[in-house]
Amino acid sequence: MQARSDVFSSLDKQQVIHSGVRRMKNEAMKASQVRLRALLLATVALSGQHALAQEATEPPSEPERAEANKLDTIFVTARRRAEQVSEVPTSLDVFSGDSLEELGVTSLETLQYQTPGLNIAVGGESTRVSLRGVGTNIASGAPSVAVHIDGVYIPNTQFALTELFDLARVEVLKGPQGTLYGRNATGGVINLVTEEPGSEFSADGWLGYGSFDLVTAQAGASIPLGDRGGIRVSGAFADDEGYTENLNPAGGEIDSRGYAGARLRGQYDLSESLSADFTVQYSEDDGTLGYGGSNNPASPVFASVPEAQRRSPGEINVDTAPDSYKEGLLLSGTLTWDVGNMTLKSITGYGEYEFNKREDVDGSGGFIAFATTDFQTEFFSQELQILGEEPGGLSWTAGLYYASESNRGRGIETDADFPDPTPFIFTDVSQSIDSETVAAFGELTVPLTSKLSATVGGRYTSAEQTGNGVFAAPLFLPEPIPTSASTDDEGFAPKLLLEYRPYDGGHLYASVTRGFKSGGVNIGFEGDTFDPEKIWAYEIGSKNRLANGRVELDLAGFYYDYTDLQLRTALFTDNGIDIRVTNATKAKIAGVELSSLFQVTPDLSVDLSGAYIDSELENFISPVTLTELQGQPTPLTPEVSYTLGAQYETQAFGQGTLTARVEANHQSSITFPQFTDLQRERRDAITLVNANLRYDFPGEQYYLALIGRNLTDEQYLTQRFFYEGFADTEYYAAPRTIEARIGFRF
């Protein structure tokens, strides 16, 4: 008898170990088990923005009002150098650290609803990210949307998508970004840029209390070190009782937060031309967010026996109380040497991440089995860059990149039913995957006329991956079964971009880019490999700053030719469930995006952003059902998504400032495909309602805020795994939550 397992994803481990082994049990026991957009709700979000207190009693003059009516200028480093966001020739969403704080956004999972085209599925201790229809339904392994923290690529998505704190900004770059960002950026890049130390002493932070006995706190302080630099120390804490109740006497907190993190950020000028930057970040998390999965009682699966596991999505019966501990460390350092009209950079990154957990895996209301998982990852990267700029607009970037990654995992299922009612080890699975990546890249921008410029670039990547595993099932297999596989891929990703500036504040661009993501290994009962995936991306866009700086209007249209998609499938065989990554032949993705912001008056602003994405799998036959899935959308891809908001700011209670923001966040239906039953693997459209209210006291050193999320108490899925005859495991988002905060800044 055979079964499959991947301990690098607890969900895969949970479903493969339990479901595959459960089928062996069923066979042994001869017991077979079997099988536009919705309604837009007005979403109200009242969020405060930090505004200057008006000390003058006289009304502002017309020039002052005109200046106040202008939108702020935002600088980003999306192209590895500081630029105004309106000058970057790609579709880009940017969120400042202040706006994240004021909106109550504490993770990228919640940020997705302010970012049309972005979808992040969380549940079962797995995180899957899709951007503009490019992503993956793989619960473990390399993502298709890369995450960077202070210029360092983070290979494990969960490491980066925990609590967000003390950030200068978040940049979401859409479309393939392989030329400058390399690894796993076929869908795009999410840049997390932490707050830098200031030139003077300053401190800020807040303390909050909210639903489910939530206690949150964040604080940061900048400490100057003479006139050459300084350090910034910051930290975050979040703890609550969880929004899912365990009806079983085993108890335990489910879907709870339990995070504590600290960061040290430093900058120092070693000489007039040489400077050093570094980031040290450490975090611990014993929360159980993502552990509140339960089987859909409407599905005829094994897990519905002997008794239903769910009374409601927020009330489930779990006989093994969940337990989790995650720990992460990130070290990064950047040396910058200015040499005339050139800049040399060395960016070094090192990280460690581990988690240990125990959870129920039988999916029923009665005690059958639980599993423990231990996972560790370690990564190192080194990047060398040379950047140059000449008068007249000529600029270039070139570099070399090296990265290594080591993953180790072990999963053990302890059983207590057939054939022995006393607890015993049923399966014991160990796996390791090691990878190395080497790349060389370059990008050159040449002015053709005073208004027209061209950018050409490319990146060559060579990647190796080796995996080894041992599968043991003492009851059915006399000896442990070793497995191994390795892959060696290389690819070139070119880029061509034309930029045209017809008038001051206007920016048109057109680009052709190739995205490349290396292949990998499947390690289970047998070892095999899957091929690289590739994308040719075509995009045209326009960025405009109009009406004397009071209006921003960005438009983009794109078309992707996507080949050899890496998709996770669950193959049902006579020997169990075989979880693996396979390559789909082809997909086509086309879409349009709008991003706009209007400063109607000095007190009132209105914003609208949205995306329409038409994605279709082509020539794809499901490995599960052996049926053609022509025209099915790519995983986690809403056809329509948008955010509509309005914000008003006024003086109140003396010289203090009261700010209110209203916004609506909508996503049409998506699929969480196992390619088993696409109707059951679907989530309906959702519209969320959030609300914030903030009052800044005179002098702006203190403020009060009230933050409400999902105020209409929408019940919606964040993840789903359907295994016909075994399980239909669903994970739900948090219900309505309210949080009050008191903050300071000086």
Helix, strand, coil shares of the chain, percent, nearest 5, are: 10, 55, 35
Q: Residue 589: is its pLDDT beyond 70?
A: yes
**Pairing state between β 691-696 and 656-667:** antiparallel
Mean pLDDT computed over 614-629: 78
In 3-state terms, what secondary structure has residue 274? Answer: strand
Q: Which one, of 461, 414, 415, 465, lies nearest residue 436 by Cα? A: 465
Tens digits of per-residue pLDDT, 643-683?
Answer: 999 999 999 888 899 999 989 999 999 988 777 777 778 89
**Which residues lie closer than 8 Å to 86 by C-beta, 6 or more apart?**
505, 507, 543, 544, 545, 552, 554
Distance CA 516, CA 494 (A): 10
Of the pLDDT bands very low, low, confident and very high (cuts 50, 70, 90), residue 65 is very low
Nearest CA-CA partner of 657 in 695, 692, 699: 695
Q: What pLDDT shows up at residue 59? A: 41
Those residues whose C-beta lies under 8 Å from the C-beta of residue 227, and which sit 6 or more positions away, are none
Does 410 score more than 50 pLDDT? yes
Mean pLDDT across 223-244:
96
Contact assessment for residue 581 and residue 574, using Cβ atoms and an 8 Å cutoff: no
Amino acid at 299: S
pLDDT tens figures, 285-315: 999 988 888 888 877 665 555 566 888 889 9
22/577 Cα distance (integer angstroms) = 10
Residue 138: pLDDT above 70?
no
Report phi then psi at 148, rounded to 5: -120, 140
525-548 average pLDDT score: 88
Inform me whether the pLDDT recorded for 66 exceeds 50: no
Band of residue 697 on the pLDDT scale cut at 50, 70, 90 = very high
Specify the amino acid at residue 356.
N
SS3 of 745, please? strand
- pLDDT confidence of 330, banded at 50, 70, 90? very high
Find the mean pLDDT for residues 533-559. 92
pLDDT attached to residue 454: 96
Give the range among 110-114, 323-327, 593-597, 645-649 with minimum mean pLDDT.
110-114
Helix (H, G, I), strand (E, B) or coil at 30: coil
Q: Give residue 243's pLDDT.
A: 96
End-to-end CA distance of the chain: 66
CA distance 257 to 346: 36
Integer Cα distance of 393 and 397 in angstroms: 13
3-state DSSP assignment of residue 440:
strand
pLDDT in tens, 454-508: 999 999 999 999 999 998 888 878 889 899 999 999 999 999 999 999 888 888 9
Q: What are the structure tokens assigned to 296, written together?
A: 């859909």
Cα dihedral 21, 24, 30, 34 sign = positive
Average pLDDT over residues 248-264: 93
Which has the higher per-residue pLDDT, 451 or 6? 451
Q: What predicted TM-score, i.e. pTM, was given to this entire model?
A: 0.86
Average pLDDT over residues 227-250: 94
Compute the average pLDDT of residues 118-123. Answer: 83
Domains of the chain by range and CATH? 10-745 (2.40.170.20)
Cβ atoms within 10 Å of 684's Cβ, excluding its own: 11
Distance CA 112, CA 117 (A): 8
